[in-house]
């Protein structure tokens, strides 16, 4: 079977995704980033088969997740996406079917998030499928991790823990013998919800403008809420006091915790949430809530920023401690 050349492959699968003038139809070695108002924010995340996703995950979802984790970073900085570059390292066994499904997954998200393909690079890799996405966005104000101040309230979007539990559920789909008891006791639609949340993060792009307007500090929750919050407090030179009971859970995660209370640590410290963690001056909280509601993004208060450097998680009037504070892909 003859394989298409790199140029043929780009023309067939990726040029149709490059709908912006600066991409020049992917016929050149470089792109021109579109002009715009505000800061140009840029982020890069790599994703490697066997490390960040399973090689047999659906190709369209692998592609979409590689893009979405970058859009999540942008949203948490207050930036609305404007385009991306794709680095694609193909293993020896790639197929045109795989690439077709991969490009289709990207096409859906490019439309859905208004984030065209600007360019990239395609290479062969004597190893696992390797993705490198560089995404651009514009922020009226770039919100950093380091801006939290004592007295700020700490908020988080959506629900926490679904991704980490979904990873367990996705593993169990591949190796049923590895299925833990709590997972077997969930209803099929609860398991499906968790797997979906693991495979398909929903970056909070709709909240980006509100983050830029109101947040004193923000970051996306990708390596576990406890560890990411600790990083934000370290960067800000502050402490925090949090109520674990206030951490928002999906009904599937709540059911899993009811079955096995020991899962609380995995929920709070696991990765793959792709929600926004933010600190907000108390006098701006009402407006933040209004903007979040208008953007249809659930948002709750979990605690507040304190003087000092101690980060304390409370549950049922007691201080929680964690064996491992963060999930490291690295």
Q: What residue ranges bind its own copies (CB under 8 A)? A: 5-6, 24, 27-33, 39-48, 50-52, 73-74, 76-77, 79, 85, 87, 89, 118-128, 130, 132, 134, 142, 144-146, 219-220, 235, 328-330
Indicate the residue among 40 and 314 with the shorter CB distance to its own copies.
Answer: 40
Residue 191 tokens, joined: 């398991």
Decide: 205 and 113 in contact? Cβ < 8 Å: yes
Closer residue to its own copies, CB minimum distance, 235 or 314: 235
Q: Indicate the residue among 184 and 329 with the shorter CB distance to its own copies.
A: 329
Provide the minimum distance between the beta carbon of 149 and its own copies in the complex, in angstroms, as a whole number: 17
SS3 track for 97-157 = HHHHHHHHHHHHHHHHHCCCEEEEEEEECCCCCEEEEEEEEEECCCCCHHHCCCCCEEEEE
Least distance CB 135 / its own copies (angstroms) = 9
Residue 77 carries which DSSP code? Answer: T
Cα distance between residue 247 and residue 236, in whole Å: 21
Tokens of 113: 């998030």
Nearest to 278 by CA among 208, 329, 330: 208
Q: How far is the CB of 27 from its own copies (least distance, A)?
A: 6
Cα atoms found within 13 Å of the Cα of residue 24, Cβ hemisphere only: 8
User: What is the separation of C-alpha 208 from the centre of its chain, rounded to a whole number of angstroms?
Assistant: 13
Is 117 or 253 the residue whose CB approaches its own copies more closely?
117
Please, what is the minimum distance in Å from the beta carbon of residue 204 to its own copies? 14
Q: Which residues 6+ apart lie within 8 Å of 294 measured at CB?
A: none
Residue 303, Cα to own-chain centre: how many angstroms? 22
Q: Tell me how far, at minimum, the Cβ of 171 lies from its own copies, in Å.
A: 17
CB of 2 to its own copies, least distance (A): 13
Residue 52 Cβ vs its own copies, minimum distance, rounded to whole Å: 7
Q: Angle at which helices 188-199 and 251-259 pack, to 10 degrees?
A: 120
Instruction: Name the residue nearer to its own copies (CB basis): 76 or 183.
Output: 76
Is the Cβ of residue 6 or residue 260 nearer to its own copies in the bound state? 6
Q: With respect to its own copies, which residue has the nearer C-beta, 250 or 269?
A: 269
Of 158 and 227, which has the nearer Cβ to its own copies?
A: 227
Q: Smallest distance, Å, CB 250 to its own copies? A: 24
The DSSP string of 170-185 is: HHHHH-GGG--HHHHT
């Amino acid at each position: 079977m003859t394989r298409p050349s790199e140029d043929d492959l780009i023309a067939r699968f990726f040029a149709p995704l490059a709908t912006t003038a600066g991409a020049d139809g992917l016929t050149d070695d470089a792109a021109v980033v579109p002009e715009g108002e505000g800061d140009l924010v840029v982020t890069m995340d790599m994703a490697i088969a066997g490390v960040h996703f399973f090689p047999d995950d659906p190709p369209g979802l692998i592609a979409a997740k590689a893009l979405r984790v970058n859009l999540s970073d942008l949203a948490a900085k207050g930036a609305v996406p404007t385009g991306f570059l794709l680095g694609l390292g193909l293993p020896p066994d790639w197929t045109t079917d795989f690439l077709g499904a991969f490009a289709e997954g990207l096409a859906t998200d490019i439309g859905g998030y208004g984030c065209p393909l600007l360019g990239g690079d395609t290479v062969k890799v004597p190893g696992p499928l390797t993705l490198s996405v560089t995404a651009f966005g514009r922020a009226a104000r770039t919100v950093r991790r380091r801006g939290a101040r004592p007295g700020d309230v700490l908020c988080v979007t959506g629900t926490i823990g679904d991704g980490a539990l979904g990873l367990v559920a996705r593993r169990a789909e591949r190796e049923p013998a590895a299925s833990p008891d709590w997972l077997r006791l969930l209803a099929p639609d609860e398991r499906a919800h968790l797997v979906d949340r693991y495979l398909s993060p929903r970056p909070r792009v709709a909240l980006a403008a509100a983050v830029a307007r109101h947040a004193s500090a923000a970051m996306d929750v990708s390596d576990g809420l406890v560890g990411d919050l600790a990083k934000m407090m370290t960067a800000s030179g502050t402490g925090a006091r949090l109520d674990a009971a206030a951490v928002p859970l999906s009904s599937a995660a709540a059911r899993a915790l009811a079955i096995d209370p020991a899962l609380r640590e995995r929920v709070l410290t696991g990765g793959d949430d792709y929600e926004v963690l933010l600190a907000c001056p108390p006098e701006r909280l009402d407006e933040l809530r209004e903007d979040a509601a208008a953007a249809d993004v659930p948002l709750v208060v979990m605690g507040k920023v304190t003087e000092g450097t101690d980060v304390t998680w409370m549950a049922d009037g007691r201080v929680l401690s964690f064996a491992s504070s963060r999930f490291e892909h690295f």
